[in-house]
Amino acid sequence: MIEVHNVQKSFDGNPVLKGITCTFETGKCNLLLGGSGTGKSVLLQCIVGLMQPDLGSITFDGTVYTNNKVQIRQEIRRKIGMLFQGSALFDSMTVAKNVEFPLQMLTPEMTRDERRDRVEFCLKRVGLENAGEKMPSEISGGMKKRVGIARAISANCTYLFCDEPNSGLDPLTSIKIDELIQEITQEYNITTVIITHDMNSVVQIGDHIIFLYKGLKLWDGTKDEILNAEVPELKEFIFSSSLVRAAKRIDDETHNGVTNL
């Protein structure tokens, strides 16, 4: 479980995070939802340690991360896996080498054979058992995301962070990536935090959703509760999606006994 308490962050005097307090639960897909510029990415970067919050604390399973000793921060970081928006694969390495990289760096006690087995397992787990020798430039966007997930889980991460895992993907591939993230979260009982704008992801894998607006947490709940939430900003965000509007219309018409087919 990751606990975020009163996290604040400003850039050149402009507050981006205005005291965010929230909890990301273990074994669940925790979604950070919100429009562009609401502070989702900044919050994620503060949690994974790429940015230092101005104020507030972040706790990983009871261990405080912010302002702690470098050694403790390192220990926590080594339990973190992250899927970046652009996948961030090392383009000088093959797919297999990319997946092996965290093992090589973080678990020197593993033998070469053990590492190879683990890489094979992870690639198979994400459905890319035949792509190990390919270079990142030779694979599609969806495959890159899968490799990113395989790399994130290769060193048995406890916390998985995904920055817009569906960006640039077609709807079908997006659904597959969402399903993969959800399966991995449940299978390994890890704490997964996903930044998304995608309402498909929200209704598919949103076990716990946190809605950010202008640097504030306005709402949190589950995917079953979100459509009935009484927060105007959240309603506006949700119903800006044409698909959701259409689904809602069909739902209303069905309940009212109207059929316009």
Partner 1 sequence: MVKSFGQFLLFIQSMITRKERFAVLWNRTIDECVTIGVNSIFIVAIVSAFIGAVTCVQIAYNLTNPLIPKSTIGYMVREMTILELAPTITSIVLAGKVGSSIAGGLGTMRITEQVSALEVMGINSASYLVLPRILAAILMFPLLVILAMALSIVGGYLAGSLTGSISAQDYIEGIRSDFIPYNIVFALIKSVVFAFLVSAISAFKGYFTEGGALEVGNASTTAVNNSIIAILVADFLLAAILL
85 near partner 1, rule: CB under 8 A: yes
Nearer to partner 1, 149 or 218 (CB): 149
Given candidates 37, 52, 61, 86, which one binds partner 1 under the rule CB under 8 A? 86
Q: Which residue type, as a one-letter code, is found at position 109?
A: E
- Residues 61-70: contacts with CB under 8 Å, at least 24 apart: 61/1, 61/2, 61/158
- Minimum CB distance to partner 1, residue 74 (Å): 5
Exactly one of 77, 176, 197, 248 binds partner 1 (CB under 8 A); which one?
77
Between residues 75 and 207, which has the closer beta carbon with respect to partner 1? Answer: 75
Which CB atom, from 72 or from 246, has the smaller least distance to partner 1?
Answer: 72
Q: Does 48 bind partner 1 (CB under 8 A)?
A: yes
- Tell me which of 37, 50, 127, 249 binds partner 1, using CB under 8 A: 50
Q: Which stretch binds partner 1 (CB under 8 A): 87-95, 138-146, 244-252, 253-261?
A: 87-95
- Helix and strand element counts for the chain (H, E): 10, 10
The DSSP code for 240 is T
Tokens of 65: 């991360």
10 Å CB burial of residue 1 (0-12, 13-18, 19+) is: middle
Q: Between residues 74 and 189, which has the closer beta carbon with respect to partner 1?
A: 74
Q: Measured from the CB of residue 83, what is the shortest distance to partner 1 in angstroms?
A: 10
Alpha-carbon distances of 107 from 13, 73, 75, 235, rounded to whole Å: 41, 17, 12, 46
Binding map of partner 1 across residues 92-111, x = CB under 8 A, - = no contact:
---------xx-xxx-x---
165 sits near partner 1 (criterion: CB under 8 A): no
User: What tokens appear for 228 in the block?
Assistant: 């009935």
Question: Which string of DSSP letters, residue by residue, matches 109-176?
Answer: TS-HHHHHHHHHHHHHHTT-TT-TTS-GGGS-HHHHHHHHHHHHHHT--SEEEEESTTTT--HHHHHH
Closest distance to partner 1 from the beta carbon of 92 (Å): 9
User: Which backbone phi and psi does 215 adopt, to 5 degrees?
Assistant: 80, 10
Query: Binding residue for partner 1 (CB under 8 A) from 12, 36, 62, 70?
Result: 70
Q: Whose Cβ is closer to partner 1: residue 82's or residue 195's?
A: 82
Q: How far is the CB of 18 from partner 1 (least distance, A)?
A: 24
What is the rounded distance in angstroms from the CA atom of residue 100 to the CA atom of residue 110?
Answer: 11
List CB contacts of 26: < 8 A, sequence separation 6 or more.
Answer: 1, 189, 190, 191
**Quick one: 92 or 260, whose CB is closer to partner 1?**
92
Site residues for partner 1 per CB under 8 A = 48-50, 70, 74-75, 77-78, 80, 82, 84-86, 88-91, 101-102, 104-106, 108, 155, 161
